[in-house]
């Protein structure tokens, strides 16, 4: 189910939105904002993954060889 959200932006941002739509091929403003939100949400997941990799690199990880190791 979709929900409609209205936002207010400055004229400069509105111009930037129009430019992004044209340069990146977005058909609608909604499509552009959905894509921007997905990218932002994905960035958080990427940062969590990087933090996990750093922990593994310093030896804070555990090798799981069986399903019992998950417990």
CB 31 within 8 A of CB 24: no
- What's the domain count of the chain? 1
Q: Which of the given ranges, 13-22, 39-48, 53-62, has the highest pLDDT on average?
A: 13-22
- Tokens of residue 50, six digits: 């990087």
Q: What is the pLDDT of residue 37?
A: 93
| 1 in a structural domain | no
Range of the domain at 29: 11-70
Q: What is the largest CA-CA distance in the chain?
A: 58
Asked if pLDDT for residue 7 goes beyond 90, the answer is: yes
Q: What's the pTM value of the predicted model, to 2 decimals?
A: 0.61
Q: Which positions ≥6 away from 28 have C-beta within 8 Å?
A: 21
Domain contains 62:
yes
pLDDT digits (tens, 9 = 90+) for 25-47: 999 999 999 999 999 888 888 88
17 or 45: which carries more pLDDT confidence? 17
């Amino acid at each position: 189910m979709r929900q409609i959200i209205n936002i207010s932006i400055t004229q400069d941002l509105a111009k930037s939105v129009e430019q992004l739509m044209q340069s990146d091929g977005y058909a609608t403003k909604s499509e552009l904002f959905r894509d921007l939100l997905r990218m932002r949400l994905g960035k958080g997941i990427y940062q969590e993954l990087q933090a996990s990799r750093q922990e593994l690199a310093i030896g804070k990880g555990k090798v799981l060889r069986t399903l019992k190791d998950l417990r």
